[in-house]
Amino acid sequence: MSSTENVSRRSALSLLTGSAAAIAARPAFAHTPDSISQPLVGRLKQSVCQWCYNGMPLEDLCRHAVEIGLKSVELLGEKDWATVKKYGLTCAMANGPTTIPKGWNRVENHDAFVKESERLLPLVKEAGLPNMIVFSGNRNGLSDAEGIRNCVTGLKRITPLAESLGVTVCMELLNSKVDHKDYQCDHTPWGVEVVKGVGSERFKLLYDIYHMQIMEGDVIRTVTDNFAYIAHFHTGGVPGRAEIDDTQELNYRRVCQAIVDLGFKGYLAQEFIPKRDPMSSLREAALLCDV
């Protein structure tokens, strides 16, 4: 935080306390906020979701990401991929053809999604990006079994192309309790059944820790038991989706250690909405997750 003039005394004390706790918990070789310009330990590749900083120009966010030691700015459309590349970053999760409420669980959507996927996937490959996001869509009265069947049917039409290009299509797990009412891919077992049905190494899950803590809890056990079906992670403080610090109920450092210990080689993206100075909060989160 550049100054304390724009925050309350209470917020400033909270920030200092949280930073001190995070530093104390880190291994002896880890960097402190005073040396944040040095590389992070980096066993876990970190990204940041651009939409959480919509008031900031993308180029500014990229500069901050590089300074902090992040590897990616994500959830970007094709017009923005060249910008992150200019800063030596990638877009670890490219936007795909679907929206949260309108997804692969409806057969009537398949032709349009297949056509757009066939256009996008070669562009994702050309840009050197690893993943493309998709969504199940809302239930709208659809049974879970039918939703799984429909997703499998549609996704099988694009995974051969994804396989040939080496791009992983990722369906995001979201909560239907607080943020995305009626969303169908709202529990890990449901998403796993879709992955099993599609049967491709190029289709996996985006496990959003924030969303699944709301729906299921038991994050470390769930991730461990279903690790083979997960390609990407998102963060967020519970409750409220704010900073991933000691104001919320998850121990993100322990969660990230478990992910690394499983041999994860993909990306974990910070997807919280900061309530304090955004870049100070992003630095703290990066340090906290840098196990």
Cβ atoms of residues 184 and 144 within 8 Å:
yes
Does residue 263 sit in helix, strand or coil? coil
Cβ atoms of residues 267 and 46 within 8 Å:
yes
Q: Above pLDDT 70, what percent of the chain?
A: 87
- Domain 38-289: which topology? TIM Barrel (3.20.20)
Banded model confidence at residue 151, pLDDT cuts 50, 70, 90: very high
Digit-coded pLDDT (tens) for 202-240: 999 999 999 999 999 999 999 999 999 999 999 999 999
pLDDT at 2: 36
